[in-house]
Amino acid sequence: MSKYNLPKKFDYKNVNILKQFITETGKIIPARVTGVSASNQRKITRYIKIARFLALIPYTDMHN
């Protein structure tokens, strides 16, 4: 069983799923740590970056 809650289709609007793949400081967790398949990891990184732009996820914990 995967320790992550993976959806059928990734989406930048599904913040709860994307939050599993960022650290407390907001960094994207690398694939060698997550163990997710390469294609899923690419999707995750792409949608995390979109969600960051839309202020759904922080870039860092240093925001004022």
Partner 1 sequence: MKKYEAVIILNPNLSSKVDTFTKDFEKLLSSNSFNVVKYEDVGRRQLAYSINNHNKGHYLLFNIEGEPEKLIEIENNIKYNESIIRHLFISVKEHLGEDSQLLVDSKNRKTEAEEIESKKVEKEPEVIKPTNKVETEEVNSQEEAEEQEQEKEQEKSEEVKPEEDKDE
Q: Segment 15-44, which members bind partner 1 (CB under 8 A)?
A: 15-16
Does residue 39 contact residue 6 with C-beta atoms inside 8 Å? no
CA–CA distance, 11 with 46 (Å, rounded to integer): 10
Least distance in angstroms from the C-beta of 32 to partner 1: 26
Q: Does 56 bind partner 1 (CB under 8 A)?
A: yes
**Could you give the count of Cα atoms lying within 13 Å of 35 in the half-sphere of its Cβ?**
5
The residue (of 29 and 50) whose beta carbon lies closer to partner 1 is 50
| Residue from 27, 35, 42, 54 in contact with partner 1 (CB under 8 A) | 54
